[in-house]
């Protein structure tokens, strides 16, 4: 075994150990707890995104609900992607295959994506599998099979997150600019037809559920976002972080003949798979902030595309930078985990969130006296999701909530709570006046977690009609204003609360 392959094996095992350790000790995040709710309520779609991660977590929840178990998809996906990169490249350049796969493993964003489970987790894996099959279709005699597989994996990626559309766009660009042949267009048609059932399933679910995903992703979350020169600048910084300053520097140093090497490379197709989504995000950055996680599904293609573009010496230098760079990230997280939550007492919201995560049993015991006689609620999806995870019982969102993560609108039928008691858990004091119209009686209480008090509002006798006429009417106007050009088959929110409108 060569030294490079030995190093890759060591990197594979070491990074796997790092991901397992951090997956076990990092408290569950609000987004992760929210996706656990999806897993507990399997469906063909959810308010924000397609259902894939919910399906995966639903299967894992049959076994248990520990942080480590629920994060195994992230650990597995990033590890498999590294192995796929190595396997693909080893037939081109065995040494660079090991070095580039190791670079992927040690990139900070991939380490964190390797122990936090999100909608990007299945998107990353299925996108890479689809791209590899599409590449194989362009060089193989058995084209139809690989085009079919590329389409099936693309469909699975689409049911993970809509960014899969950008990979499909990359396929189209490749065919239009580099393979304008009848066979290539037939292959693209096979990809589209194979992915189509997944798309139709998602469209039908949206048609029967108020067009939730469409309203959220294309309208509600993008409203009131004016142009800002800061957004493209931040996107540039994000790209520099992903590439690290060394990579652009090395590419500039070896710019002579670089385009020729890219064009002549048999792996040139992966440059497009990386660059086309980046170009789309560059355009979007004129209007909105681009999230780092948006690029996760396309980041692996960079490591594949680099094969043969840089010397082994340059790749080793990148590794020598990347490993300490990632170590600093992990050290920072480790220090934060070791610090007592009281360090953050100057920020009450963060402090109390950390206390809930650090003392889940105390949180559960503090609320236990009301568990059988009250429905639990918070004013935030993050708090509701985390509290539901730690108390193992439903926690609704009361009030207007935010434009994000409104899955509780599907799960909770407020009509059925008429006359019921609701406990509102908060991190900061709640003014009883804000809810007095919606309950027969309100009582302010406090619970203690690790010596710190949390306000609790006890509402007896929930009054549904005033709540509908005020809160739900505003929610309808803000989040369920379905455009006329989108005919819908059903809308749970309108049918429940506004059937005559």
What are the pLDDT digits (tens) for 273-305?
999 999 999 999 988 889 999 999 999 999 999
For residue 402, pLDDT beyond 90: no
For residue range 99-130, what is the model confidence (pLDDT) as tens digits?
999 999 999 999 999 999 999 999 999 999 99
Please count the CA atoms within 13 angstroms of the CA of 234 that sit on its side-chain side. Answer: 13
Residues whose CB is less than 8 angstroms from the CB of residue 118 and which lie 6 or more positions away in sequence, other chains included: 31, 32, 35, 53, 74, 293
Q: Is 454 exposed, middle or buried (CB count within 10 Å of its CB: 0-12, 13-18, 19+)? A: buried
pLDDT band at residue 428 under the 50/70/90 scheme:
confident
pLDDT given for residue 342 in this prediction: 82
CA gap 9, 90 in Å, rounded: 14
pLDDT given for residue 224 in this prediction: 61
pLDDT given for residue 231 in this prediction: 86
Is the alpha carbon torsion for 58, 62, 67, 70 positive or negative? Answer: negative
Asked whether the beta carbons of 293 and 118 are under 8 A apart, the reply is yes
pLDDT band at residue 495 under the 50/70/90 scheme:
very high
Provide the 10 A C-beta neighbour count for residue 344.
17
pLDDT given for residue 341 in this prediction: 83
pLDDT given for residue 83 in this prediction: 98
CA gap 273, 304 in Å, rounded: 10
For residue range 135-191, what is the model confidence (pLDDT) as tens digits?
999 988 778 999 999 999 999 999 999 999 999 999 999 999 888 788 889 999 999
Domain boundaries, the chain: 3-220+310-335, 348-497
In 3D space, the residue among 75, 79, 101 whose CA is nearest the CA of residue 88 turns out to be 101
DSSP letters for 147-168 = HHHHHHHHHHHHTT-TTHHHHH
Residues whose CB is less than 8 angstroms from the CB of residue 205 and which lie 6 or more positions away in sequence, other chains included: 43, 44, 45
Asked whether the beta carbons of 285 and 232 are under 8 A apart, the reply is yes
Mean pLDDT, rounded, of the chain:
92
Asked whether the beta carbons of 173 and 212 are under 8 A apart, the reply is no
CA gap 120, 255 in Å, rounded: 33
pLDDT given for residue 6 in this prediction: 94
Provide the 10 A C-beta neighbour count for residue 69.
15
CA gap 386, 32 in Å, rounded: 9
Provide the 10 A C-beta neighbour count for residue 294.
20
pLDDT given for residue 16 in this prediction: 97
Q: How far is CA 274 from CA 119, 233, 239, 349, 374, in A?
A: 19, 20, 12, 38, 51
For residue range 336-355, what is the model confidence (pLDDT) as tens digits?
889 888 888 888 777 887 88
The number of angstroms, rounded, from the C-alpha of 370 to the middle of its chain's C-alpha atoms is: 34
pLDDT given for residue 225 in this prediction: 64
pLDDT band at residue 417 under the 50/70/90 scheme:
very high
């Amino acid at each position: 075994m060569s030294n490079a392959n030995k190093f890759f094996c060591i990197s594979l095992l070491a990074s796997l150990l790092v991901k397992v350790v951090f997956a076990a000790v990092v408290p569950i995040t609000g987004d992760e707890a929210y996706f656990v709710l999806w897993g507990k309520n399997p469906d063909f779609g959810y308010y924000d995104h397609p259902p894939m991660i919910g399906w995966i977590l639903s299967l894992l929840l049959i076994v248990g609900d520990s942080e480590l178990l629920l994060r195994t998809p992230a650990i597995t996906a990033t590890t498999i992607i590294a192995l796929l990169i190595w396997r693909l490249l080893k037939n081109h350049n065995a040494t660079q295959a090991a070095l580039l796969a190791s670079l992927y493993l040690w990139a900070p964003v991939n380490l964190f994506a390797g122990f936090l489970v999100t909608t990007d987790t299945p998107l990353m894996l299925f996108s890479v599998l689809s791209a590899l099959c599409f590449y194989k279709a362009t060089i193989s005699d058995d084209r139809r099979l690989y085009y079919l597989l590329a389409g099936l994996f693309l469909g699975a990626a689409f049911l993970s997150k809509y960014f899969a559309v950008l990979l499909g766009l990359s396929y189209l660009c490749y065919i239009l600019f580099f393979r304008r042949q009848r066979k290539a267009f037939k292959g693209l048609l096979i990809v589209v037809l194979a992915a189509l059932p997944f798309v139709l399933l998602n469209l039908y679910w949206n048609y029967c559920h108020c067009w939730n995903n469409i309203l959220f992703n294309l309208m509600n979350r993008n409203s009131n976002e004016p142009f800002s020169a800061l957004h493209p600048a931040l996107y540039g910084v994000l790209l520099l972080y992903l590439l690290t300053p060394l990579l652009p520097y090395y590419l500039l140093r070896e710019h002579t003949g670089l385009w020729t090497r890219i064009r002549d490379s048999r792996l040139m197709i992966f440059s497009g798979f990386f660059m086309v989504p980046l170009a789309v995000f560059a355009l979007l950055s004129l209007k909105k902030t681009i999230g780092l996680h948006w690029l996760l599904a396309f980041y692996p293609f960079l490591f594949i595309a680099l094969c043969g573009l840089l010397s082994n010496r340059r790749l080793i230098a990148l590794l020598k930078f990347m490993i300490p760079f990632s170590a600093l990230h992990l050290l920072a997280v480790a220090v934060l985990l070791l610090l007592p939550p009281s360090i953050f007492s100057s920020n009450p919201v963060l402090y109390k969130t950390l206390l809930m995560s650090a003392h889940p049993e105390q949180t559960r015991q503090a609320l236990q006296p009301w568990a059988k006689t009250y429905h639990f609620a918070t004013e935030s999806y993050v708090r509701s999701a985390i509290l539901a995870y730690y108390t193992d019982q439903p926690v609704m969102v009361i009030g207007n909530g935010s434009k994000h993560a409104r899955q509780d609108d599907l799960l909770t039928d407020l009509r059925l709570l008429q006359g019921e008691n609701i406990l509102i858990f908060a991190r900061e004091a709640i003014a009883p006046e804000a809810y007095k119209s919606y309950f027969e009686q309100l009582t302010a209480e406090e619970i203690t977690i690790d010596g710190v008090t949390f306000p609790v509002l006890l509402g007896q006798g929930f009054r549904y009609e005033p709540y509908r006429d005020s809160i739900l009417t505003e929610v309808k106007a803000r989040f369920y204003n379905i455009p006329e050009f989108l005919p819908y088959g059903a809308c749970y929110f309108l049918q429940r609360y506004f059937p005559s409108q």
